[in-house]
Amino acid sequence: MKTTKSECVLALTLALVAGETVLQSDEGMWLYTDPPRRQLKEKYGFEPSDAWLEHVRQSSVRFNSGGSGSFVSEDGLILSNHHVGADSLQKFGDEQHNYYRDGFFARTRAEEKKCFDLELNVLMEIEDVTDRVNSAVKADQTPEEAFAARRAVMAAIEKESLEKTGLRSDVVTLYQGGRYHLHRFKKYTDVRLVFAPEQQIAFFGGDPDNFEYPRFDLDICFFRAYENGQPARISHFLKFSSTGPAENELVFVSGHPGHTSRSLTVDELAYLRDQRFPYAMQWLNRLEVMLIAYSARNEESARRAKEFLFGVQNSRKAREGMLAGLLDPQIMARKQADETRLRQAVAGKPELREARPAWDTITAAQKVIAQNNRPYNLLESAHGFNSTLFQIARTLLRSAEEKSKPNGDRLREFRDSNRESLELELFSEEPLYDDFEQIKLAHSLTWLVGNLGYSHPVVQLALAGKSPRDRAADLVLNTRVKDVARRKKLYAGTPQDVAAAHDPLIELARTVDAEARAVRKILETQDELKQQAYAKIAKARFAFEGTSAYPDATFTLRLAYGLVKGYEEEGRKVPFQTTFAGLYERSAAHQNQPPFDLPKRWIERKSRLDLNTPFNFVSTADIIGGNSGSPNVNRQGEFVGIIFDGNIQSLVLDFIYTEEQARAVSVHSRAILESLRQVYDAGSLADELLGKRQP
- Of the residues 229, 348, 350, 453, which one makes contact with its own copies according to CB under 8 A: 453
Where does this chain touch its own copies (CB under 8 A) — which range of 21-29, 34-42, 286-294, 419-427?
Answer: 286-294
**Interaction between residue 600 and its own copies (CB under 8 A):** no
Binding positions for its own copies, 198-217, rule CB under 8 A = 206-208
Of 293 and 500, CB closest to its own copies:
293
Cβ atoms of 197 and 602 within 8 Å: the answer is: no
CA–CA dist 359, 93 (Å, integer): 50
Cβ atoms of 632 and 638 within 8 Å: the answer is: no
At residue 437, what are phi and psi to the nearest 5 degrees? -60, -40
Q: What is the DSSP letter of 30?
A: B
**Interaction between residue 12 and its own copies (CB under 8 A):** no
Q: Residue 637 CB, nearest distance to its own copies (Å)? A: 40
Q: How big is the site for its own copies, counted in residues (CB under 8 A)? A: 48
Binding positions for its own copies, 570-589, rule CB under 8 A = none
Of 242 and 275, CB closest to its own copies:
275
Give me the sign of the Cα torsion angle 136, 142, 147, 148: negative
CB burial of residue 341 (10 Å; 0-12, 13-18, 19+): middle
Of 278 and 683, CB closest to its own copies:
278
Show Cβ contacts of residue 204 under 8 Å, excluding neighbours closer than 6 positions.
216, 217, 218, 583, 586, 587, 595, 596, 598
Binding positions for its own copies, 396-425, rule CB under 8 A = none
Where does this chain touch its own copies (CB under 8 A) — which range of 110-118, 243-251, 468-476, 567-575?
Answer: 468-476
Q: Residue 274 CB, nearest distance to its own copies (Å)? A: 4
Residues in the chain: 695
CA–CA dist 577, 214 (Å, integer): 8
Q: Residue 284 CB, nearest distance to its own copies (Å)? A: 8
CA–CA dist 394, 401 (Å, integer): 11
Number of H helices and E strands in the chain, helices first, is: 26, 21
> Which among 519, 529, 523, 518 is positioned nearest to 363, based on CA atoms?
529
Of 297 and 502, CB closest to its own copies:
297
Binding positions for its own copies, 477-496, rule CB under 8 A = none
Mind spelling out the 3-state secondary structure of 156-221?
HHHHHHHHHHCCEEEEEEEHHHCEEEEEEEEEECEEEEEEECCHHHHCCCHHHHCCCCCCCCCCCE
Q: Residue 547 CB, nearest distance to its own copies (Å)? A: 34
**Interaction between residue 96 and its own copies (CB under 8 A):** no
Of 333 and 611, CB closest to its own copies:
333
- Of the residues 278, 357, 457, 683, which one makes contact with its own copies according to CB under 8 A: 278
Q: Residue 422 CB, nearest distance to its own copies (Å)? A: 34
**Interaction between residue 556 and its own copies (CB under 8 A):** no
CA–CA dist 521, 504 (Å, integer): 26
CB burial of residue 462 (10 Å; 0-12, 13-18, 19+): buried
Of 82 and 316, CB closest to its own copies:
316
CB burial of residue 595 (10 Å; 0-12, 13-18, 19+): middle
**Interaction between residue 449 and its own copies (CB under 8 A):** yes
DSSP helix/strand/coil, 690:
coil
- Of the residues 14, 246, 296, 492, which one makes contact with its own copies according to CB under 8 A: 296
**Interaction between residue 124 and its own copies (CB under 8 A):** no
> Which among 440, 449, 502 is positioned nearest to 473, based on CA atoms?
440
Of 241 and 587, CB closest to its own copies:
587
At residue 49, what are phi and psi to the nearest 5 degrees? -75, 165
Binding positions for its own copies, 242-271, rule CB under 8 A = 270
**Interaction between residue 288 and its own copies (CB under 8 A):** yes
Of 229 and 453, CB closest to its own copies:
453
**Interaction between residue 465 and its own copies (CB under 8 A):** yes
Binding positions for its own copies, 325-354, rule CB under 8 A = 327-329
**Interaction between residue 323 and its own copies (CB under 8 A):** yes
- Of the residues 179, 184, 316, 670, which one makes contact with its own copies according to CB under 8 A: 316
What is the CB neighbour count within 10 angstroms for residue 107? 13
CA–CA dist 583, 215 (Å, integer): 8
**Interaction between residue 514 and its own copies (CB under 8 A):** no
Where does this chain touch its own copies (CB under 8 A) — which range of 101-109, 174-182, 229-237, 290-298?
Answer: 290-298
**Interaction between residue 375 and its own copies (CB under 8 A):** no
DSSP helix/strand/coil, 467:
coil
- Of the residues 297, 353, 405, 412, which one makes contact with its own copies according to CB under 8 A: 297
> Which among 339, 311, 319 is positioned nearest to 273, based on CA atoms?
319
Where does this chain touch its own copies (CB under 8 A) — which range of 93-101, 291-299, 384-392, 687-695?
Answer: 291-299
**Interaction between residue 317 and its own copies (CB under 8 A):** yes
**Interaction between residue 454 and its own copies (CB under 8 A):** yes
Beta bridge partners of 183: 126, 170
Give, for 38, the enclosing helix (H) or strand (E): helix 37-44
Q: Residue 480 CB, nearest distance to its own copies (Å)? A: 23
Of 289 and 514, CB closest to its own copies:
289
At residue 390, what are phi and psi to the nearest 5 degrees? -65, -40
- Of the residues 14, 293, 514, 588, which one makes contact with its own copies according to CB under 8 A: 293
Q: Residue 28 CB, nearest distance to its own copies (Å)? A: 26
Query: Can you say whether residue 280 is alpha, beta or left, with left for phi > 0 and alpha for psi between -120 and 50 degrees?
Result: alpha
Pairing of strands 239-240, 638-646: parallel
- Of the residues 10, 14, 246, 289, which one makes contact with its own copies according to CB under 8 A: 289
- Of the residues 108, 235, 298, 636, which one makes contact with its own copies according to CB under 8 A: 298
Of 22 and 281, CB closest to its own copies:
281
CA–CA dist 402, 392 (Å, integer): 15
Residues that bind its own copies (CB under 8 A): 1, 206-208, 270, 273-275, 277-278, 281-282, 284-286, 288-289, 292-293, 296-299, 316-317, 323-324, 327-329, 446, 449-451, 453-455, 463, 465-470, 590-591, 593, 595
